[in-house]
């Protein structure tokens, strides 16, 4: 599958004149395609006249950028201090075990991509997870099971 060149060019054009354009440009690309595609990098390199390697330098440095397509739902498992103290590590381990997936990977059904985040800033509801844009606080293993089931039903 090729990217929609016109759309990608539009994003590049939007930022081309901006000082320090590369990061906002990549952020917009990721919003558009869900991840940073190799052909998009090639296009940016051509249009902005910078070597691809410099673009990859930035992509691999920042946690936000991914080069693989994400699952349908992103699960952000908070590993902040408060969550850690309240059992966040066990929640992350359980999610990985029960979904049979590695961190930053995607389940074989393409439904979930779990990842750890440093802090969601919901320390009062620790341990917390965020699925797509929804927060779930005071998580227990039972609660996680219910939440995941909810998403499975919604999709299935």
Partner 1 sequence: MKNRILVCAGTSGLSAGAGEVIEIFKSELKRLNLRGKFNLVKTGDRGLFRDVLVDIITDGKRVTYEHVKPADVKKITESHLVKNTPAAALTAGKSYEEFFANQTRVVLKNCGEIDPENIDEYIGTGGFEALKKAIPLPPEKIIDEIKKSGLRGRGGAGFSTGLKWEFCHKEKSGVKYMVCNADEGDPGAFMDRSILEGDPQSVIEGMIIAGYAIGANEGYIYCRAEYPLAIERLNKALKQAEERGFLGNNILKSDFSFKLSIKKGAGAFVCGEETALLASIEGKRGTPKPRPPFPAQKGLWGKPTVINNVETLANIPHIINNGADWFSAIGSAESKGTKVFALAGKVRNTGLVEIPMGTTIKNLIYGPGGGLKSKRSKLKAVQIGGPSGGCLPETLLSTPIDYKALAKTGAIMGSGGFIVMDEKTCMVDIAKFFLGFTVAESCGKCVPCRIGLKRMYEVLDKITKGRGETRDLDFLKEMCETIKSTALCGLGNTAPNPVLTTLKYFRREYEEHINNRVCDANTCVELVKFEVIEEKCVKCGKCSTSCPVGAIEWEKGRTAEINKEKCIKCMACFAACDFKAIK
User: Which residues contact partner 1 by CB under 8 A?
Assistant: 19-24, 26-27, 57-58, 61-65, 79-82, 84-87, 90, 93-94, 97-98, 117-126, 133-135, 137, 140-142, 145
Least spacing, CB of residue 83 vs partner 1, in Å = 8
Q: What gap in Å lies between CA 73 and CA 2, rounded to an integer?
A: 23
Nearest CB to partner 1, comparing residues 3 and 48 = 48
Least spacing, CB of residue 116 vs partner 1, in Å = 9
- The C-alpha torsion from 117 through 72 and 131 to 60, rounded to 10°, is 10
Nearest CB to partner 1, comparing residues 3 and 23 = 23
Nearest CB to partner 1, comparing residues 4 and 132 = 132
If we measure between CA atoms, which residue out of 64, 154, 58, 76 comes closest to residue 114? 76
Least spacing, CB of residue 2 vs partner 1, in Å = 26
Q: CA 55 from chain center: how many Å? A: 19
The 8-class DSSP code of residue 74 comes to E
β-partners of residue 113 are: 74
């Amino acid at each position: 599958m090729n990217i929609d060149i016109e759309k990608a060019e539009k994003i590049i054009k939007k930022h081309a004149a901006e000082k320090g354009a590369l990061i906002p440009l990549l952020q917009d690309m990721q919003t558009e395609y869900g991840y940073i595609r190799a052909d998009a990098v090639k296009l940016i390199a051509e249009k902005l006249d910078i070597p691809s390697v410099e673009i990859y330098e930035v992509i691999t440095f920042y946690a936000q950028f991914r080069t693989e397509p994400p699952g349908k739902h992103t699960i952000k498992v908070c590993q902040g201090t408060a969550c850690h103290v309240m059992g966040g590590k066990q929640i992350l381990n359980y999610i990985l075990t029960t979904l049979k997936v590695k961190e930053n990977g995607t389940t074989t059904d393409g439904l979930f991509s779990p990842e750890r985040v440093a802090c969601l800033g919901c320390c009062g509801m620790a341990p917390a997870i965020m699925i797509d844009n929804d927060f779930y606080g005071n998580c227990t293993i039972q609660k996680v099971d219910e939440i995941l089931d909810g998403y499975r039903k919604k999709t299935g």
